[in-house]
Structure 1
Amino acid sequence: MHGSEHALQTQLHDQWKNLDAAVRNNVKGPLLTAMRNAQQVISHPAAQAAAEVAAVELPFNEWPEFLPTLLDNIRGANYDEPIKVATLDCLGYCCERISFLGGEVDQASTDSMLSAIVDGIGSTRPNRMRHAAAGALKNSLLFAETNMEKQEERSAIMNSLMEATRCEDMNVRIVAYEGIVQVAILYYAKLQEYMTTIYQLTTTTIKEDNEEVAKSAIEFWTSLCEVEQDLIDEEEDCRQRGLQVERPCMRYVDAAMQHLAPYLFDTLTKQDEDPDNDDYNLQMAGQLCLSNVSQTVENNIVPVVMPFVNSKIQDGNWRNRDAAIMAFISILDGPSSDTIGPFVSQSVPVLLKMLDDENIIVRDSAAHCISRICLLHVQFIPPEIFPSLLEALTNKCKEGSAKVASQAATAIFNLASAFSDESGGEDQATNALSRYMQVLLQTLLQLVDRANADSDDSSNLRLAGMEAISELISVSAQDNLQLLSALLPEFITRFEQTSAMPVLNEDDKNAKEQIQGLLCAVIQNLYRKLDKATVLPMTDQVMMLLLGVLQTKNSICHEECFTAISSISDALEGDFVKYMDHFSPLLVAGLKNCSAYQVCIVAVGTVGDISRNIEGAIQPYCDGIMNALVEDLKDSSIHRSVKPPVLSCFGDIAMAIGGGAYTPYFDVSMMMLMQASSTEVPQDDEDLIEYLNLLRESILEAYVGIIQGLRDGNMLEKFEPFVPGIMSFLQKISEDPNRDSYVLSKAVGMLGDLAQTMGAKIKNEINKQFAAKLISDAMSSGDASLVEVAQWASQTLTALVAQP
């Protein structure tokens, strides 16, 4: 549950507590009575309601009738099974809610509740009751923290769960395994004495039980992998920081891997024979688990899996061939490139042949495997195979199976993405894709035009094809620019056709807007690649289409549309101003779109881009823009990620329009920046620490932009009263152990800018120990760009301080 939901729940509970005791009693008594109704339609909702009330009252030692009544329901011979089931549900819900809300119940009550639940899961109880008790115990595990610390009580809980995995009722076995999964997540340090039994239970279940229960048993190992990955990362972090490891990883997965792997290999042969069925099945569970094992044990997985892959990859049974491919996919992400690379090189020729396998499921897996190799290990594709690879992928884009064609398009996308990191980047005269670009683009355009491209097929051909086209455009070299210039009219035509699509229902609307979003992404990349002279004659048409999209309320593609317009402004620079009269109201609407905060963030970025491109010409539109930005900052309900880019945007606008024009906005923007500068977060919350660094980086960017704008307008005196507050902010940054390198760089740059622009007026303010510490920290960072900033700032400060 998110923090906002937690706050709402707490508020509702406070309102309940504020009701008169007599009013509350008039609710509580009937709830306990209703739970004793043998009809589930009455007892079950009553159990949920009673649990919610008890979660509020028990931590305050109120509602003394609650526990005795529930214990009597479970243990009394007078009550039917549905009543016992509802009561166990109530206990489980209650424990879960108390834990979530941070409440505490006296130990005697806790023991009574857990004892009743464990009693209900016993082998002598009816299966329906055992099922309810197993669910209640799973929900109670966080609540049982004190009990789990005591060996005898912990063993009682664990033994009841492990015994329940042998129950003849499938539903009981599934929930029992879900409980064991929760134990692995919550109480990893307590697992050691139970691991042998859990291993025996899970492997027997994977081998012999039905699919649903086997998936639950596999989930234990998948979850254990995730826990151990986190612990291994923590250990590495402690080693790097010279700290003692507080939570050691016991490496259970590494110890069990060799014995567990054959059971997982067997699940990989349990494919669904319907290639279009994407329901989560046993094969998927096994493959996910094997992937997690690979990421946990890394290089150690290779000698365990590769013998299976090599022995089955050309087997006469299609299930074994497919299992071998899926096993290989599982270990592509985990081992180091040096370890897995040689196997990747050997695999590509084999996989290319398997793209033409007689079985469609094998073809799909082979295409998926090639796609993953293009994503993770493209450097190990033998150069002599490259032409054959591209030919095979273009052929597979024409495959009758939408899934195979989609995998092929995704492989092309991943292959293109690998070129974005090549030295030279977009300025390359040519690259390895250049000679194939026309065929690839034509093939992908045919793919997105297929009749089933916009069907509900999960492979989503249109999405895969358009993303591949967009990425190919993005990485194309100079020798393909003529080809790209011919593409722009093609996509304008497609956009016009899409705009004319009828919308008769919500599905039509979503389909139309998804296509428009994909077209926006393509247009964005075309404008990034093509020069101004090429795009200028077509931009009126493009902007008309994009403005039409922005006029559609609640469209899902506004984010992509703003991003495309940013690229257009970058391409046109000052000439973009001709569109501002029509665009600015839609831009302001985007800035005010707080409910769709991602759209708001992108709109803020668009303001920054346009400010840099049209500079002072944005001034007539600044009232509406600045008002919207300030409203965003004042809105306490807005997503916190909006605030950093908004603050940074103040600096962009100030630089664009200069100090004189920025005067009407100066006081309010400085007040907002000062308020944001005082933000504090807990020292142990990594997410909030990351947010604070982002916020401070944006604040410093804004200050720098405002200083430069004021300097250009000869109005620096307006900034002087704020210098002491800014110095206090910089001192706070100098003392923060959680400060990241980006904030340090901006802080050091800020010192240099202040020294350079304010001069002798701030000589005493800046000649302080914290300033020297910031520069020293940057100098010793080992980051070349940071050192360069520090050297400049140091020289600037030294020259200022040396002045008489």
Structure 2
Amino acid sequence: MSAPDLTTTLLSCQNPDPTVRTAAEAALASAEQTNLAEFFLALANELATEGKDVTVRQLAGLHFKNLLVAKDDVLQAEKHDKWKAIPAEQRSVIKSTVIGAIRSPVPVARHTAAQACAEIATIELPYQQWPECLTILMENVTSASVDDGIKISSLECLGFTCERIGVTLPMSASPEISPETTDLMLTTIVDGIRADRPNPIRYAAAKALGNSLAFTRKNMETPTERNMIFQTICEATQSEDALVREAAYDCIVQIAYQYYDKLQEYMQTLFQLTFATIRNDVEKVAQQAIEFWSTLAEVEQELIDLANELAETGESPPPESVCVGYVKAALDHLCPLLMETLTKQDEEAEVDDDVWNLSMSGATCLGLVAGTVEDAIVGPIMPFVQQHIQSENWRYREAAIMAFSSILIGPSDEAIGPYVNQSIPILLAALSDSNDLVKDTTAWTIGRICEYHVRCIPGDTFPTLVNGLAVKLLTETPRIASHACYGIHNLAKAFENDDTAATTGTNLLSPYMPQLFQTLLQVVDREDASESNLRIGAFEAISMLIQNAAPDVKNVLLQLLPVIIDRLAKSFHMAALTNEDKEHKEGVQGLLCGLIQVISLKSTKEELFPYCDAILTNFIQVLQTKNATCHEEAFSATSAIVNILEGDFVKYMGALQPFLMAGLRNFEAYTVCIVAVGLLGDICRATEAAIAPYCTEIMSALVDALQNSSLHRSVKPPVLGCFGDIALALGAGYEPYLHVSLMMLSQASLTRAPDDDDDLIDYVNTLREGILEAYTGIVQGLNDGNRIDLILPYVDGIFGFLEMLAQNRINDIDNEVLGKAVGLVGDIASSFGGQIKTQISAPYVMELLKEGHATEDPTIVETCKWAHSLVQQVLAA
């Protein structure tokens, strides 16, 4: 593509006419496919040519950058590989052109060039293939003859490079950045952040330093270099420019997160700096200083949790992972400071605005501190709360309530319980406060009390509490009403597994159920219910009330069911003239499906049966929409109906089948696919052989799912397990599908995970569970159908998989996999008897049984005993 053509094409990509825009985008895509190296060079020249229209230069640089960037890891690797495949001499010309554009006198051009240059550096620096890049950038920053704007763009380029390397390196096969490279980067950045530099340069350097900390551990391990980095950052916190100070504190936050073990000798300085800044600096900088303590609390919480986990096995954490307890040591000074920030509410902000201000930062930090120090937070905070919770000054009233709310997640019932008990009457009165922010915080606090310390609520105030929250559902703003829904939801959740209801047939909520259902359904119909998640909060509260309803309100639930079905039927006639209307309509339909599901789970077959025709008719209409969330809810609710109706569900299969197939093939909305697979398993278990007429198409869809390389990996384990469900349902009728399913299982069993990838190890364990469930179902199904002989040729492959599991037990298989493996051994022994004596006598079979016994898990141990007795029978035969 010639330069004039490229200029025109880039501008056409911004044309409001979709026809012109689409043609231009296609032309750029064609140029990329035809000769990528020439296209890169053409874009680089467009970016670097002085006198060109600045918009065109910017568009060229951004398109250059986007040719190397992707959000998807696989696509990102492909783009990097395409760049590396360009001959070195051609890349050299392109790189020289792009980095030269950083010296442009045009600010937009050099800034865009910095972005494009950073993408190339991200690919090449880990392989030490472009050392002159850093040399040029260093010269730009340190040379006295270079314009400040060029220094800033050069530091921006370093910052972008560090940021991109920090993001892409952990997810790629690239080598670690060499110490020489990080040394040169840091030298350049530290030079830019010097106190004698102009503030815009210092700001760019501070941002770059923050981005570099992700991969400069070698430098942080060296005391002299670490001291230099800390000194540089601390000096920057004293800059007269707020942006520089904010960026410097961001660096301190990064160090707290990534280098906690290096903080000790600097903590006194950081303590003094952050406290002075929180108390005296402008809001944005003060918030960043608070963030340091928030991060410190989060890190210490993780280290405490690690120490507790290790203590269970008699181990101790390594020295670099020991919690020093900085937060607890600072409590007496930190808590008063944070409470001071709580009184600096933003008077201009609307209650319904989630504006991140100083008081919110302080409250968040206080909550994290409470989670870390637990009971120790009560002493420093509660005197402030008690002194100001009924203050005449609304700022102090709200701050006291917010402080109390913030620490609820940390302390035990024993430590905070007496204060909760005393606070309920005061908080209920504060729900009618003259100040909206006080009411809002109060409603939120009551919800948190119901979530974390519901047992501390005095029994005699329970009626007042329920009624107090219910009144706010219809009379307050959406935000406060949403908090009230949250409180009712948590009150209902407190009655999970309630033994009292099981024996007495009732609980404290029973008298309020009819009125709460009626009021919450009125909330759903509020014109402003879409604000502050109010409608969703109301539906969730109704759902939790249903789930934990005592037996004495069964009739109320059965009266509610036709009301919900009717609402779902009427929802299809709601107007949907705009996208917002459509989202609202489909959101309501999904939520109503969820309510039908929870009511169904509380009902017997006889109670539910009269409503099933109407329910399934409505569900199928929901499945005709294009909303994935609605499909998930409808499929999940249908599963509940299937499990209750059992074999009687077969009457609905003809109508449901096309939509079930669409769900099984919905590879893009993979969560829908997962739920559809779960529904299929439930249908197989409920209808058994009646599923046979639909199985050819079903198996085709499952095999397609397994062969689809772009399908999210989480779908594949349940798909494999579903083979077992189908085999159990069909018995001998599974024969037509046996070979293909065993081939899929064999291929899946080859999947391995590297020892250092915890996520992949977890996934492979889930995959193996699915494989074992499938093998178990197939063996049991064919045995029940008297055709176990069909699987005999495949037995060696199954035992090969079991051998691999036995060999990998120590490293990467969990107890769930082990339990299912032992169960499969027992099923094989029971089904084949002496036919598999050779295979079952292998040492690894006994090793699996031995490992199962060693888990001391009662279920696994019982399975091991059963399997062991069957194995012994085979060996003795």
Q: TM-score scaled to structure 2, two decimals?
A: 0.87
Q: Kindly state the Cα deviation for residue 683 of structure 1 after the two structures are TM-superposed.
A: 2.4
Farther-moved stretch of structure 1 (424-433 vs 90-99): 424-433
Aligned equivalents of 1:62, 1:713: Cα separation in 2: 65
Aligned equivalents of 1:207, 1:745: Cα separation in 2: 57
Aligned equivalents of 2:713, 2:666: Cα separation in 1: 14
Q: Kindly state the Cα deviation for residue 555 of structure 1 after the two structures are TM-superposed.
A: 4.0
Tell me the residue number matched to 2:593: 520
> Residue 70 of structure 2 contacts residue 76 of structure 2 at CA under 8 Å; is this kept in 1?
no
Aligned equivalents of 2:79, 2:162: Cα separation in 1: 18
3-state DSSP of counterpart to 1:460: helix
Tell me the residue number matched to 2:775: 703
Tell me the residue number matched to 1:339: 415
> Residue 500 of structure 2 contacts residue 507 of structure 2 at CA under 8 Å; is this kept in 1?
no
- 2:861 matches 1:794: no
> Residue 441 of structure 1 contacts residue 469 of structure 1 at CA under 8 Å; is this kept in 2?
yes
Q: Kindly state the Cα deviation for residue 86 of structure 1 after the two structures are TM-superposed.
A: 0.4
Farther-moved stretch of structure 1 (533-542 vs 187-196): 533-542
Q: 1:538 to 1:645 in 2, by over 3 A?
A: same
Tell me the residue number matched to 1:226: 298
- The one-letter code of the counterpart of 2:706 is L
- 2:253 matches 1:253: no
> Residue 426 of structure 1 contacts residue 476 of structure 1 at CA under 8 Å; is this kept in 2?
no
3-state DSSP of counterpart to 2:710: coil
> Residue 185 of structure 1 contacts residue 224 of structure 1 at CA under 8 Å; is this kept in 2?
yes
- 2:345 matches 1:271: yes
Q: 1:537 to 1:107 in 2, by over 3 A?
A: closer
1:480-519 superposed matches below 5 A = 480-519=553-592
Q: 1:534 to 1:242 in 2, by over 3 A?
A: closer
Aligned equivalents of 2:311, 2:842: Cα separation in 1: 34
Aligned equivalents of 2:665, 2:259: Cα separation in 1: 45
Q: Kindly state the Cα deviation for residue 690 of structure 1 after the two structures are TM-superposed.
A: 2.2
Q: Kindly state the Cα deviation for residue 603 of structure 1 after the two structures are TM-superposed.
A: 0.6
Tell me the residue number matched to 1:93: 160
Tell me the residue number matched to 2:688: 615
Aligned equivalents of 1:109, 1:767: Cα separation in 2: 58
> Residue 51 of structure 1 contacts residue 90 of structure 1 at CA under 8 Å; is this kept in 2?
yes
Q: Give per-residue Cα distances to partners, 1:272-318, cap 9 Å, x unaligned.
A: 33312211121221111111111112222222222222222222222
3-state DSSP of counterpart to 1:142: helix
Aligned equivalents of 2:635, 2:746: Cα separation in 1: 30
Q: 1:679 to 1:106 in 2, by over 3 A?
A: closer
1:175 to 218, 230, 247: 247
1:367 to 443, 448, 452: 443
Q: TM-score scaled to structure 1, two decimals?
A: 0.95
Q: Give per-residue Cα distances to partners, 1:417-463, cap 9 Å, x unaligned.
A: 22222238889733332222111111111111122112xx2x22111
Q: Give per-residue Cα distances to partners, 1:48-72, cap 9 Å, x unaligned.
A: 1112212333344444542332222
Tell me the residue number matched to 1:306: 382
Q: 1:115 to 1:383 in 2, by over 3 A?
A: same
Aligned equivalents of 1:431, 1:244: Cα separation in 2: 45
Q: Kindly state the Cα deviation for residue 204 of structure 1 after the two structures are TM-superposed.
A: 0.9
3-state DSSP of counterpart to 2:528: coil
Q: 1:622 to 1:428 in 2, by over 3 A?
A: farther
1:111 to 183, 189, 208: 183
Aligned equivalents of 2:830, 2:503: Cα separation in 1: 35
Tell me the residue number matched to 1:83: 150
1:727-766 superposed matches below 5 A = 727-735=799-807, 736-737=809-810, 738-766=812-840
Q: 1:314 to 1:688 in 2, by over 3 A?
A: same
Q: Give per-residue Cα distances to partners, 1:554-598, cap 9 Å, x unaligned.
A: 443211111111122223222222221221111111111111111
Q: 1:432 to 1:743 in 2, by over 3 A?
A: farther
Tell me the residue number matched to 2:22: none
Aligned equivalents of 2:503, 2:644: Cα separation in 1: 16
- Unpaired stretches in structure 2, ≥5 consecutive residues: 1-67
Q: 1:719 to 1:473 in 2, by over 3 A?
A: same
Tell me the residue number matched to 1:767: 841
Q: Kindly state the Cα deviation for residue 392 of structure 1 after the two structures are TM-superposed.
A: 1.4
> Residue 426 of structure 1 contacts residue 475 of structure 1 at CA under 8 Å; is this kept in 2?
no
3-state DSSP of counterpart to 1:270: coil
Q: Give per-residue Cα distances to partners, 1:706-754, cap 9 Å, x unaligned.
A: 1121012111112223333333333333441243332232222222222
Aligned equivalents of 1:133, 1:330: Cα separation in 2: 36
Q: Kindly state the Cα deviation for residue 144 of structure 1 after the two structures are TM-superposed.
A: 2.3
- The one-letter code of the counterpart of 2:839 is E
Tell me the residue number matched to 1:468: 541
1:654 to 717, 723, 727: 727
Q: 1:693 to 1:267 in 2, by over 3 A?
A: same
Aligned equivalents of 2:514, 2:747: Cα separation in 1: 54
Tell me the residue number matched to 1:54: 121
2:471 to 395, 398, 411: 395
- 2:123 matches 1:42: no
- 2:97 matches 1:23: no
Q: Give per-residue Cα distances to partners, 1:174-215, cap 9 Å, x unaligned.
A: 111111111112211111111111111111111111111111
Tell me the residue number matched to 2:76: 9
3-state DSSP of counterpart to 2:629: coil
2:336 to 262, 284, 292: 262
Tell me the residue number matched to 1:538: 611
Farther-moved stretch of structure 1 (547-556 vs 615-624): 547-556
- The one-letter code of the counterpart of 2:638 is I
Farther-moved stretch of structure 1 (505-514 vs 780-789): 780-789
Q: Give per-residue Cα distances to partners, 1:374-404, cap 9 Å, x unaligned.
A: 2222222222222222121211222322222
- The one-letter code of the counterpart of 1:606 is L
> Residue 649 of structure 1 contacts residue 702 of structure 1 at CA under 8 Å; is this kept in 2?
yes
Tell me the residue number matched to 2:57: none
Q: 1:377 to 1:105 in 2, by over 3 A?
A: closer
Aligned equivalents of 2:842, 2:434: Cα separation in 1: 76
Aligned-residue sequence identity (percent) comes to 49
1:311-460 superposed matches below 5 A = 311-423=387-499, 429-454=505-530, 457=531, 459-460=532-533
Tell me the residue number matched to 2:229: 157
Q: Give per-residue Cα distances to partners, 1:239-273, cap 9 Å, x unaligned.
A: 33334422222222222222111111111122233
- The one-letter code of the counterpart of 1:641 is S
Q: Kindly state the Cα deviation for residue 549 of structure 1 after the two structures are TM-superposed.
A: 1.8
Aligned equivalents of 1:60, 1:782: Cα separation in 2: 49
1:715-730 superposed matches below 5 A = 715-730=787-802
Tell me the residue number matched to 1:238: 310
Aligned equivalents of 1:427, 1:656: Cα separation in 2: 38
- The one-letter code of the counterpart of 1:140 is S
> Residue 427 of structure 1 contacts residue 477 of structure 1 at CA under 8 Å; is this kept in 2?
no
Aligned equivalents of 1:50, 1:18: Cα separation in 2: 18
Q: Kindly state the Cα deviation for residue 676 of structure 1 after the two structures are TM-superposed.
A: 2.1
Aligned equivalents of 2:181, 2:729: Cα separation in 1: 66
- The one-letter code of the counterpart of 1:268 is L
Tell me the residue number matched to 1:689: 761
Aligned equivalents of 2:300, 2:139: Cα separation in 1: 42
Tell me the residue number matched to 1:580: 653
Aligned equivalents of 1:482, 1:244: Cα separation in 2: 56
> Residue 96 of structure 1 contacts residue 143 of structure 1 at CA under 8 Å; is this kept in 2?
no
- The one-letter code of the counterpart of 2:200 is R
- The one-letter code of the counterpart of 1:70 is L
Tell me the residue number matched to 2:56: none
3-state DSSP of counterpart to 2:494: helix
2:99 to 32, 45, 55: 32
- The one-letter code of the counterpart of 1:29 is S
Aligned equivalents of 1:96, 1:367: Cα separation in 2: 41
Aligned equivalents of 1:21, 1:794: Cα separation in 2: 64
3-state DSSP of counterpart to 2:215: coil
Aligned equivalents of 1:103, 1:689: Cα separation in 2: 22
- The one-letter code of the counterpart of 1:533 is E
